[in-house]
Structure 1
Amino acid sequence: MNVHLPQWPDLLPTLGSWTAEIRGQLIPNQPLDEMTTLRVGGPAQLFFRPVDEDDLAFFLKHLPAEIRVTVVGLGSNLLIRDGGLDGVVIRLPAKGFGAIDILDGHRVRAGAAVPDVKVATASAEAGIDGLWFYRGIPGGIGGALYMNAGCYGTETRNRMVELRAVTRQGEIITLTNEQMGYLYRKSNGPRGAVFTSATYQGFAGDPEKILTEMRTVTERRESTQPTRAKTAGSTFKNPEGHSSWKVIDEAGGRGFTFGRAQMSEMHSNFLINMGEADAFEVETVGESIRQKVRDKHGIELKWEVRRMGHFVPGREVREFMDGAPFTGAV
């Protein structure tokens, strides 16, 4: 990456003596690019990796309310801009948040740091059907809960019974499926809450049959999607009545390239980092595709990938819908 990434003022000394009681890691100016599957993005002003739920609750309870908090999971549906993120970035480690428990009644409880594929596999091996769709989602349970992740006709909201979370005030709470207010690729739970685990309801199934179906999902993904590339997965939500990949194809977007980023030749709704792209190049490709689709179809594609953080001055990416022609230049 050729962009000179900024450094944030050290936030840690301003927080006070209570941070000495934190058992997890607190790291100023932690680079975040390697924590996302796109491999782009600037640093976190202060990075926090809690040991367990109590450590997380203590930290959030004492952190001043005016400091921004961002949660980063496995980074599979995320584009962090080159200027990085101010405030605190939290990432839950597998050691404290990576357990999978098989419960009575064909239920499964999984920590927020567990990769979706591991939940699918553990459920299948236990003879629990209904969660195999997670095999097709490259991310973690925390992100799936937040984004209502789904594929092949099943979404997180169809299986999630309840979840545990820590509020911005440091309170540990339980939320029902209804309280999450799930919509297509969206949730409406308490603002600022950090999800720590969830319980899912499946149903009885034959392990070998479920595992066979999962292998079919894997083969299908690998034959149609750039699973080995630096990508954030599906880039845009499907517009009502349309498929994103199809309208992108029809607008000439397949293979569109800017700098070292590209709309995949293999699947036209997958943005990929072809090597050492920066976030500016990746986001520019996305906005260029949105303009192409609007110009061709009058359809305004909505990002499914979460974009966050600050631009590096002089390398801002404008949304094409601001009324000005979008060329990728600023």
Structure 2
Amino acid sequence: MKMVNQYDAIIIGGSYSGLSSAMTLGRSLRKVMVLDNGKPCNRYTPHSHNFITQDGVVPYEISQKAKAQVLAYPTVSFREAKVLAVLKTEEGFEVKTSDDSFFAKKIILATGIKDIFPDIKAFEDCWGKSILHCPYCHGYEVRSQQIAVIGNGDIGYDFAKLIYQWSNNISLLTDGTSTLSKEQADKLTSMGIRIVENKIEEFLHTDGQIESIKLSENLELFVDAVFARVPFKQSTNFAENLGCNFLPSGYVQVDEMQRTSVQGVYAVGDSTSMMRSVSVAVATGTKAGAMLNKELIEEEF
């Protein structure tokens, strides 16, 4: 089994960063296996933006085209499978799925993160459609519209200030008593940003497109879009189990070439950076693939 399932690199996660790594390694004549569970974190989003040549394209279409191009390289294989464990061995790494084991000299973790949604009715239904996380990915499409920003304290102040670039019709929803400083509140008010302290009860929408927000005290706020930052956790515990270091923010710590603190383990994409966009994910995958190949050359030469 080990001889059959032996690879130069195994990539766990077959979305944009994983496929980008696979292409770089396939073009380097490396034998690669990509294992993917089919649940990319941007599956909620109808369109991808801010990626030249792909602006406005459906994310699924980008990934399917990328997959077809990557698998044109004969040394790259792709399998839909849920990875159960990644283990360090004397010769490299063993990756276990529910029905098989794979072995590789190097590992690339392209496993992404999992958003933790607040307990507000219909939040998840609207996430990625009209409840948005990134103004650079979606701000242009809702420019000059009626926008609500969810946040409080320093985080809420900074987020509202950022979104102001795209619209002058902004309400900051603190979802309870404001923890803004007086200086922050005064500045937001002077810029025309309304501060709403009512609790958020429900997002009223049609097919994920927000029409209004139901607030406490029988208030209703009509909006076209909402910007929110939600907490997250790593989608898997593979990096933790392998002993990789993490940043205080919860991202896997990597260097400029996507190497983790564990020799032979790379991490790419959303699990390593708050810059959650397809273009950034692709760039991290390309860097990791190139560095991994160079590392193999140094070991073989």
TM-score, scaled relative to structure 2: 0.25
Structure with greater contact order relative to length (CA < 8 Å, sep ≥ 6): 2
TM-score, scaled relative to structure 1: 0.23
Query: Larger Rg: 1 or 2?
Result: 2
